[in-house]
Amino acid sequence: MANIVCIGAGYVGGPTMAVMAQNCPHHRIVVVDINEARIAAWRSEHLPIYEPGLDEVIRAVRGENLLFSTEVDRHIAEADIIFVSVNTPTKMFGQGAGRAADLQHWEKTARQIVRNATTPKIVVEKSTLPVRTAEAMEHILNSNDKGLHFDVVSNPEFLAEGTAIRDMQTPDRVLIGAHHTPSGRKALEAIVEIYANWVPRERIITTNLWSSELSKLTANAFLAQRISSINAISALCEQTEADVTEVAHAIGMDSRIGPKFLRASVGFGGSCLQKDILNLVYLCEYYGLPEVAHYWEQVVRMNEYQEARFVSNMMSAMFNTVAGKRIALLGAAFKAHTSDTRESPALAVCRALLDERAAVVLSDPHALENARADLGDQAAQVIFELDPYAAAGGAYAIAVLTEWPQFADLDYEAIFKSMVKPAFIFDGRDILDHQRLFDIGFNVYAIGKPPLAHFTSSVPGPS
């Protein structure tokens, strides 16, 4: 039996350790966090995050071999293996502001480990970190005066929110990187052994430390690049009467391209894709590779363009003024099946419409609480409404911003009747039946599709 501790009880720490505990009943796992409210929620019936399947796993293991605690120091002292999954957001101050990763939480954690350790430990990087972070961590951990040796292993997490439990149970691969030294190999083998309890060996990849760290940033950059690529094509489709869904299907049938991550949208959101590309851009600049940095930066710029373009399209369709108009935004989460609103394109659209003085109503089945917190002072200007029918009643326009499947199944005839005419619908996720909505009477604008409008507005907008 190993004593495993995970520092950071967030979107990664909670679900990953729950699945690990379920598959390793012989190990004892404690998830610790300095956020008392979060730990209290993990111990309660109302978990701090909404994630399909999570409640069931937690119910099965909590209080058995999975514990949640705020006693960080005590559990560090008792641990053999420490996974660190604290947040590594974009740095917002000083050198590298707006690009580099803010590593203060990681470094504090490393120092806390050194302070409290009385035995050697394996420290596992679960957080997403810039390549060569392990080197700094090894310096901090191994400059102790207790004669203790620490091995640093990289084990980046590839789960996506909304499918976290499935991704953890049956991962495409588990990546583990360590130094090719006897002690590094031993540490690596210990982590492989944990995953081998439920992941087939051929799906557990081992590399050197730097390849592992860099693979995580690269995977997110490639995923985001595909979305920006199809979104760039969606803009061209709207000008040429091509249909982006048909184009995505046609190219995705090529086995070299593949069909996944080709859904055009209002933009990608979430706490990681943008943050990790910006970090990659910073690293390239740091290592004197400005052309490479510029190449990847365009993926983020295209995403910003897509969000802004969506709002411009709304404005120009609605006679270039939305001031005082009620607009129902369906979706606040950055993607379906999560309550997470971090970097959500829905909130970017919401803020842009508030700047235009629209009367915004926000509806989402699970994310309204987080949306209210993320909007900060601007939340006071927004109406939060769980019921999408109530949100749409009296609205001039609806915009679908999260691909919750229930939004595709609403009674749009009843909704149309309850709206101000002419009624507009903007599908930022291409999940609705556009022809049917047009037949009901809506003016329909979807990403990457020719508009289905009963008239064209010729009111000039800002040039």
- Contact yes or no for 178/187 (Cβ under 8 A): yes
Q: Is 306 in the site for ligand NAD (CB under 6 A)?
A: no
How many helices and strands in the chain, by DSSP H and E? 17, 14
Query: Which partner from the list ligand NAD, ligand UGA, none does 245 bind, CB cut-off 5 to 8 Å by kind?
Result: none
DSSP, res 309 = H
Q: Is 38 in the site for ligand NAD (CB under 6 A)?
A: yes
Among 43, 105, 185, 372, binds ligand NAD (CB under 6 A): 105
Q: Is 212 in the site for ligand NAD (CB under 6 A)?
A: no
> Which residues, in sequence order, are bridge partners of residue 207?
177
Residue with tokens 């029918």: 389
Q: Can you give the three-state secondary structure of 199-251, one letter per residue?
A: CCHHHEEEECHHHHHHHHHHHHHHHHHHHHHHHHHHHHHHHHCCCHHHHHHHH
Q: Is 335 in the site for ligand UGA (CB under 6 A)?
A: yes
Query: Which partner from the list ligand UGA, ligand NAD, none does 155 bind, CB cut-off 5 to 8 Å by kind?
Result: none
Query: Which partner from the list ligand NAD, ligand UGA, none does 263 bind, CB cut-off 5 to 8 Å by kind?
Result: ligand UGA
Cβ 125 to ligand UGA shortest distance, Å = 13
Look up 272 and say whether it is catalytic. yes
Distance separating alpha carbons of residues 267 and 227, to the nearest angstrom: 8
The mark string for 225-264 relative to ligand NAD (x by CB under 6 A, - otherwise) is ----------------------------------------
Q: Is 128 in the site for ligand UGA (CB under 6 A)?
A: yes
Reduce the DSSP state of residue 316 to 3 states and report it.
helix
Full DSSP string of 307-326: HHHHHHHHHHHTTT--TT-E
HSE toward the beta carbon, residue 40, CA cutoff 13 A: 3
The length of the chain in residues reads: 463
> Quick one: which of 447, 440, 91, 104 has its CA closest to 262?
447
Q: How many residues bind ligand NAD (CB under 6 A)?
A: 27
Q: Which is nearer to ligand NAD, 167 or 238 (CB)?
A: 167
The mark string for 211-250 relative to ligand UGA (x by CB under 6 A, - otherwise) is ---------x--x---x-----------------------
Binding part of the chain for ligand NAD, among 85-93, 201-209, 428-436, 455-463 by CB under 6 A, reads: 85-93
Q: Is 171 in the site for ligand NAD (CB under 6 A)?
A: no
HSE toward the beta carbon, residue 18, CA cutoff 13 A: 25
Sign of CA dihedral 130, 131, 137, 139: negative
Q: Which is nearer to ligand UGA, 130 or 270 (CB)?
A: 270
Among 21, 58, 159, 214, binds ligand NAD (CB under 6 A): 159
Which phi and psi angles does 181 have, rounded to 5°? -115, 165
Which phi and psi angles does 92 have, rounded to 5°? -110, 15
Question: Two tokens at 383?
Answer: 């109406």
Cβ 229 to ligand NAD shortest distance, Å = 22
- Known catalytic residues are 272
Name the residues that contact ligand UGA, by CB under 6 A: 128, 157-161, 220, 223, 227, 261-263, 265, 268-270, 272-273, 334-335
Name the residues that contact ligand NAD, by CB under 6 A: 7-13, 32-35, 38, 72, 85-88, 105, 108-109, 127-128, 157, 159, 161, 271-272
